[in-house]
Amino acid sequence: RDVRLRNVPARLGRHGVAVLAADGGAGEAARVAERLVRALEAPFTIDGREMSVHASVGIALGRPGATTVDELLRNADVAMYSAKHGGKRRFTAYEPKMHARIRHRQELVTALERAVERDEIGVHYQPIVNLETGAMVAVEALARWDRPLHGLICPDAFIPLADEIGLMVGIGRSVLRQACGQARAWQAAFAGREDLRVNVNLSPSELSDPTLVADVERILRDSGLAPDRLVLEITESGVMRKPDEALATMAT
């Protein structure tokens, strides 16, 4: 009901939907986009489970005889990615300068794919201290991308993108392997650190991956780290992205 009869909805790919507004100009397009975003904010129920959808909408305007269908869809797609980058549940109108941001994103995707192949994703460690005794009881493993010519890149700048394009499982396994190996090496090298624990964050993609448990078992076995010295940290939002798969993984 949020797409009026004079507008034409169509599905584009697995996750995309286009709406052709036949008239009304920029104002009408913005009103349609706002109605869609607001309508999708409300949770809905499937098989007794409450679900929600986060929508990002890109708006592109065309001129008869001056804008081709391909250009219109491409511009709408660019605007949609800009809206998604700026925060979900919003809409954005296309501007020519957006192409520079999209090009930068694509360059980052290509560099990140190569980074995984070249083992450029390393691990830094943050101590976890017992406040009562002042003793270090654990370390938290933090992924860092040592990008050539750019230096160290923090996870906020590449982890969400890696998760989006399907690289996070591979990166996560690499981080886990490095962290377990380093923790075991520290245990062996320093007296009194035999019980050192390492905390590793799991992304939503990893939590939903069916090979997670087997991979964790293999990494622990290969590194020699005792299972009770590894803490896998998950977030509520990560669990709720695919709750059934997450619960199945945790129950394994």
* CA distance linking residue 64 with residue 27, whole number of Å: 18
Mean pLDDT (the chain, rounded): 85
The confidence band for 75, taking pLDDT boundaries of 50, 70 and 90, is confident
Q: How far apart are CA 137 and CA 231, in angstroms?
A: 12
Read off φ and ψ for residue 29, nearest 5 degrees. -60, -45
Give the pLDDT confidence score for residue 1 in this predicted structure: 46
Query: Model confidence at 4, in pLDDT bands (50, 70, 90)?
Result: low
For residue 30, what pLDDT band results from cuts at 50, 70 and 90? confident
Q: Are 77 and 100 in contact (CB under 8 A)?
A: no
Q: pLDDT tens-digit profile of 93-128?
A: 888 888 777 778 888 889 999 998 898 999 999 999
- Tell me the DSSP string of 127-190: EEE-TTT--EEEEEEEEEEEETTTEEE-GGGTHHHHHHTT-HHHHHHHHHHHHHHHHHHHHHHS
Match 């300068």 to its residue by tokens.
Answer: 97
Q: Which residue has the higher pLDDT, 14 or 48?
A: 48
Q: What is the pLDDT of residues 175-218, one digit of tens each?
A: 999 999 999 999 999 988 899 999 999 988 888 888 999 999 99
Model confidence, pTM: 0.66
**Cα 204–12–47 angle (5° rounding)?**
50
Provide the pLDDT for residue 26: 83
Q: What is the pLDDT of residue 13?
A: 65
Contact yes or no for 168/159 (Cβ under 8 A): yes
Mean per-residue pLDDT for 76-81?
83
Residue type, 83: A
pLDDT of residue 49: 77
Q: Which of 54-58, 136-140, 198-202 has the lowest mean pLDDT?
A: 54-58
Q: With left for phi above 0 and alpha for psi between -120 and 50, is residue 173 left, alpha or beta?
A: alpha
Higher pLDDT: 178 or 250? It is 178
Across the range 5-32, mean pLDDT stands at: 75
